Amino acid sequence: MLSLGVRTLHLRRARYLGLAKVYFQHVLTAALNLSWIAEWLSGETIASTRRSPSARLVSHAA
C-alpha cells in the first residue's frame, strides 16, 4: 500500500505550493502510513514476492 502511494501519487515530495495544501498531503501520507502499520500489527499476511520464470523452472527441476 505504501509503495503504491509513493509510485502513483508521488508522495515523497510535496506536490503543491502553499502551507494548507502541503499540510493536506502530509495528512494523507500519514493516513497511508497508519493503515500500513495497522495491517502489520494485525498480522495480515503480505503478498509474497514474485519469482521470475527462470527461478520457477530451477525450483521445479530440483
Q: Which of the 8 DSSP states describes residue 43?
A: T
Per-residue pLDDT, 47: 67
Per-residue pLDDT, 46: 65
Per-residue pLDDT, 15: 66
Which has more pLDDT, 49 or 1? Answer: 49
Q: How far apart are CA 28 and CA 34, in angstroms?
A: 10
Q: How far apart are CA 41 and CA 34, in angstroms?
A: 10
Q: Are 1 and 35 in contact (CB under 8 A)?
A: yes
Question: Tens of pLDDT along 3-49?
Answer: 666 666 666 677 667 788 788 888 888 888 888 888 888 887 666 77
In which residue are the cell numbers 502499520 written?
Answer: 37
Per-residue pLDDT, 18: 78
pTM, whole model, 2 decimals? 0.50
